[in-house]
Amino acid sequence: MSDSYAELMVKIREIGQLEAVESLLDWDLETQMPPNALRCRADQLSLLARLVHDRRTGDEMDRLLSQINGSAEDSVQETNVREMRRTFDRSVKIPSELVGKISHVSAMAKGAWAEAREDSRFEHFAPHLSELIELKRQVADLVGFEDERYDALLDEFEPGMKTALVAEVFEGLRGPLSDFVRRLRDAPNKPDASILRGHFPQAAQEKFARRLTSAIGFDFQSGRLDVSTHPFCSGVVPTDVRMTTRYQEDFFSASTFGTLHEAGHGMYEQGLLEEHAFTPMGSAVSLGIHESQSRLWENFVGRSRPFWDHFYGECQEAFPDALGGVGLDPFHAAINAVHPSLIRVEADEVTYNLHIILRFEMERQLIDGALAVKDVPDAWNAKMQDLLGVSPECDREGCLQDIHWSMGTFGYFPTYALGNLYAAQIFETANRDIPDLADRIGRGDFATLLEWLRENIHRHGQRYRSDDLIQKITGKSMSTQPFMNYLHAKFSPIYGL
């Protein structure tokens, strides 16, 4: 068995290294690549996707997994074999040609999306979206599902999760969130969010963003920060993590909290055990758990009063013209102002999940054919009005604002809201285990929280599925209650409720 397992690990790590090369090429596409290189890059990514798929689904992989089945010697071997078997069983159903085609179409679609977003012309992106939806329907049909196609796509990002459960959770959130938004709208205290609009020079933003992310624990010797149209984090190995952000010189929050968000992802990647790199034991649990880390650092820490007790003086020094005369109280209220907005990545914590509910409902309709691609802008605008009471004036502010559909990542969006719920339970437990956590954050001690996350989440890799991990950490299954408790405890004092 040990010989078979050693052989399996060689193959798994080779696959992981190929995926790392693929990830780097994709990062370069988003950040550095000349525009005219897009078609060539699409061909390169397609080739790599096919090579990875062929290695993952080959007869040798099946033989080794079958030989080892039930003979794992410890939890590390058990995790690696279990997850590789799951990946094999899913991947072997999908032809290599289809995998390569999806990769190629997606690379071209990203370029089309960026141009369509710049021009605010959905019709320029629509043919690419239609093709990707059809390809992902094929994937769902090949993989198989019990209730609806979307189950097969959701399972890729949140293993074991079902569409019906997500819908039930989201329906349970919709009412309480809408009610709380109405209460805040009628509250006596109204934060002045306009103080976050002013002149914030990009050079100063870049310096301040690096200062914050370094302070909370992102290691720039093992990572970097660049600019892209849509912020993202790409973890190659724990010693090579690529983050991106975007800067708006007339708005403080976009880069500051966007970068903290990506740093949360980045520190998770840097916290995975290097000795298990390229294997399931050295990989993140799911995108929902990944999102819990980014939302935790962006919001539960980064928008907290203790965080700015520590950093606001430096913030005023970085932006003296815009914030030099603004006190800490109004600043903290402003960065936590609740106001239904058009842009998901700039949404406040209370309304953010409503953006995800919108996308989840539209994705289900697109995949099952209930919504035609040509009708996406109108459907988007109607749902924005229904859920948030606002309507975009152009496609760039509406259905073209996110890159994910151009990537073909249908089933991804629900993990954003699941991440919020996971983060609330995790942070609640961290405060229980570290009773003076708020004081530590106020003193600039972020290492204690990061070490707690390393111990309870990062080091486990994929040893546990999402709900099992949450149960292990918090003693409870996923629940909406800790998140709603957090919102009420944080925002009621700010709004005078």
How far, CA to CA in Å, does 115 sit from each of 81, 239, 255, 346?
43, 33, 22, 21
| Cα–Cα dist 74/79, whole Å | 9
Cα dihedral 312, 313, 316, 318 in deg (nearest 10): -100
**Are the beta carbons of 274 and 304 closer than 8 angstroms?**
no
**Are the beta carbons of 292 and 475 closer than 8 angstroms?**
no
Q: Which of 155, 134, 135, 133 is nearest to 144 (CA)?
A: 155
| Pairing outcome for strands 240-245 and 223-227 | parallel
Q: Which of 404, 446, 428 is nearest to 487 (CA)?
A: 428
Those residues whose C-beta lies under 8 Å from the C-beta of residue 421, and which sit 6 or more positions away, are 169, 478, 479, 480, 482, 483
Residue 140 in tokens: 């769902």
Q: Which residue is catalytic, options 19, 83, 156, 262? A: 262
**Are the beta carbons of 46 and 104 closer than 8 angstroms?**
yes
Residue 249 in tokens: 């010189």
Please give the angle made by the CA atoms of 387, 393 and 397, to the nearest 5 degrees. Answer: 70
Residue 469 in tokens: 């991990």
262 is catalytic: yes
Query: 244 has which bridge partners?
Result: 226
Query: 65 has which bridge partners?
Result: none
| DSSP E strands, 6-81 | none
**Are the beta carbons of 260 and 297 closer than 8 angstroms?**
yes
Radius of gyration of the chain measured on its C-alpha atoms? 22
Please list the active-site residues. 262
